[in-house]
Each structure stands twice: as C-alpha cells, then as structure tokens.
Amino acid sequence: MASALEVLWVEKYRPRRLDDIVNQREVVERLKLFVKERNMPHLLFAGPPGTGKTTAAHALAYELFGENYRQFMLELNASDERGINVIREKVKEFARSRLPPEIPFKIVLLDEADNMTSDAQQALRRLMELYSSVTRFILIANYPSKIIDPIQSRCAFFRFQPLKKEDIVERLRYIAENEGVEYEEEALEAIYEISEGDMRKAINVLQAASFLGKVTVDSVYRVVGMARPREIREMLQAALRGDFMAARNMLRKIMIEYGLSGEDVVRQIHREIFSGELKIPEELRVVIADYLGEVHFRLVEGSDDDIQLGAFLAWLAMLSKKAGGARG
C-alpha cells in the first residue's frame, strides 16, 4: 500500500504525458512509436525504484486512451496480489472481457512483478498467449532476472536509468515552490544524495522535512535517520590519525543521537569512502572497503553492532600507525 506521503505528493506531481518524463529519452521515444501506431507488444519495464517505470506505464495508457484510460487498464501490485488465484480470476476475467470498437486493446499493469510466485508466472505466461489480441501486459520489475524466461521472451524490454542530480533537484525545487515550502539549495542536494536517483524517495524526504519548517540540511538528515556525511568523515579521519578514543566517542554519539543501527553506519561509511571527500590513497581506500565488507557480513549474521564497529575503528587506527600515520 502507498504511504500517506506518497499519495499526497508523489501522485500529485506525477507526470501525465510521456514528454514530461525526464532522463529516459530512449524509453520515451520507443513508447511514443507505440502511441503513434496505436499498437504495442507486451512490455517489461526494469530498473531501480523511483525512476519512472509506473509513471511511464500510466503516461502511455493516458496517451493511448485519453482521460478515461483507467477504464481500460487493470493495475495490480504483484507484491500484495502475487498468487496464482489472482492471475486465474481477476486478471483472466479482465483480459477476456469485451472491448469497445474504438479501443484497440486493454492493458494489464503488473507492478513489482518480480515478487510473483513461480506458479503465478506460469499461469500469466499462458494468459499472455491466449488474450494477446485484446489485452497487452506491462510488467514492472526492479529485478528482471526473477521473471521467468518464457515471459521475458514475450515482452519488449525497457531498462530505466537512475535520475540525474539536476533532474531531481529541479523537480524538488518546482514542488517546494508550488507548495510554498522554504528551503536551502544545499538541502535539495542532500536529498538527492540520500535518494540515490529515486525520485519517489526524494519527494517523500522533502515532504517529511517540510513538516519541521524550513527544509535545511539538518532537517533532511534528521527525518531520514542518518548522520551528516561530515560527521562520518570526521570519525574516519580521527581513526586514520590513530586517535581511536576520539573516533570511538564520535561513533557512540552518532549511534545514540541518530538512533542508527550498525548496518546503517556501515552503509554511510561505505558511501563516504567512495565519495571523494575523504582524502586517502587509493590503495588504502581498497583495503578499507574490503575489511568493511567483512564487518557488514558479521553484522548481518547477528554480531554485536558496538563491538564490530569499535573493532573496525581500532583496525583503522592500527592500520594508520603501521602505514606511518595516514591522514584524512
């Protein structure tokens, strides 16, 4: 189910036409050919979350059928309704229903199709064969490898790319100005860094931060439960100077103030290592990334967060002393 935040803002500012979709030029051009011909094959949209896959499907249906396109499109979220009974009953009933003369075909949109069970996918495969003359299927998946090969071979494949920084920041600026939200430019850039190209996540973070007043860098990191990159960087720099106790105190402060788990801290350390802001030799960066992967594995297996992260900082301090005091 969509969150209240997603319903309020994400849906409100979702593009309605294919030309409004940014950073997916090749995808849009191919879809516009289907609109022009008023015909299309079954489609498989794949790519990271929040990059416009569902939006593209709605925009395609809108341009094919007009304002009332929802009458001719069945939308299901396969993560909630992923069993074989849904395919045999709801999808089959819609797929074989009659069409008005002016409508060339109906559309069945299966969001998060990679969460469908194997049996459901096998049943869907048969429906795609039987009713292809009157119904087209659009499958959306973050991980297309989880879609069985017989279905993949029946679909035209479209891969969506993460959105660029300028596209996300521009859209966030547009939303903030239309909603009367005060913001700092640096805060919008911080939201982009957190979202990693996911427009839906970026909009939700913007709205959550706006509840605290003016959207600032501090409010952004507060609502997402993350430490500021500068604090993570200072902790690493202290350890790399050989000052273990200072780094250890910073770690405890970060985990207590922000309520972060060990895995959250590891993810932020990993991001900081490769951000370019931490000035260390390339060889040292490789060694740290390798050991950090080992720490993450231990945490996933159930090891104590405090002990493992403390050991990681101690290892950094010893490593810097062996290297003659590497500095951040």
CATH number for the domain harbouring residue 215: 1.10.8.60
Q: Kindly state whether residues 32 and 88 are assigned to the same domain.
A: yes
Closest CA to 134 of 86, 99, 110: 99
Q: What is the pLDDT of residue 1?
A: 37
Q: Kindly state whether residues 76 and 179 are assigned to the same domain.
A: no
- State the alpha helices, DSSP H only, in the chain: 4-5, 25-37, 53-65, 84-86, 92-95, 118-130, 149-153, 165-178, 185-195, 199-210, 217-224, 229-240, 244-258, 262-273, 282-300, 305-322
Q: What is the pLDDT of residue 328?
A: 43
Q: What is the pLDDT of residue 8?
A: 58
Q: What is the pLDDT of residue 307?
A: 92
Q: What is the pLDDT of residue 234?
A: 92
Q: Kindly state whether residues 238 and 315 are assigned to the same domain.
A: yes
pTM of the predicted model, to two decimals?
Answer: 0.75
Q: Kindly state whether residues 152 and 120 are assigned to the same domain.
A: yes
Whole-number Å distance between alpha carbons of 199 and 224:
15
Q: Decide which of 209, 224, 239 is a domain's last residue.
A: 224
Q: What is the pLDDT of residue 82?
A: 60
Q: What is the pLDDT of residue 4?
A: 45
Q: Decide which of 224, 241, 263 is a domain's last residue.
A: 224
Angstrom CA distances, 152 to 13, 173, 250, stand at 31, 38, 49
The identity of residue 16, as a single letter, is R
92: three-class secondary structure by DSSP: helix
Strand 106-111 versus strand 155-159 pairing type: unpaired
Q: Kindly state whether residues 80 and 127 are assigned to the same domain.
A: yes
197: in domain: yes
Whole-number Å distance between alpha carbons of 189 and 205:
12
Q: Kindly state whether residues 188 and 298 are assigned to the same domain.
A: no
Whole-number Å distance between alpha carbons of 256 and 263:
14
CATH number, position 277: 1.20.272.10
Q: Decide which of 224, 241, 267 is a domain's last residue.
A: 224
Q: Kindly state whether residues 254 and 150 are assigned to the same domain.
A: no
Q: Kindly state whether residues 22 and 128 are assigned to the same domain.
A: yes
The identity of residue 270, as a single letter, is H
Centroid of chain to Cα 57: 17
Whole-number Å distance between alpha carbons of 269 and 248:
14
Q: What is the pLDDT of residue 271?
A: 87
Whole-number Å distance between alpha carbons of 271 and 227:
12
Mean pLDDT for back-to-back runs of 10 residues, the chain (328 residues): 50 77 88 91 91 90 89 77 68 79 88 85 85 89 90 92 89 90 91 87 90 89 85 91 91 85 90 82 88 93 92 89 55
327: in domain: no
DSSP annotation of 215:
B
Q: Kindly state whether residues 284 and 235 are assigned to the same domain.
A: yes
Domain count, the chain: 3
End-to-end CA distance of the chain: 44
Q: Kindly state whether residues 99 and 15 are assigned to the same domain.
A: yes
Q: Which domain holds residue 256?
A: 229-322
Structure tokens that stand for 247 in this block: 């780094």
Q: What is the pLDDT of residue 3?
A: 47
Centroid of chain to Cα 287: 29
217: in domain: yes
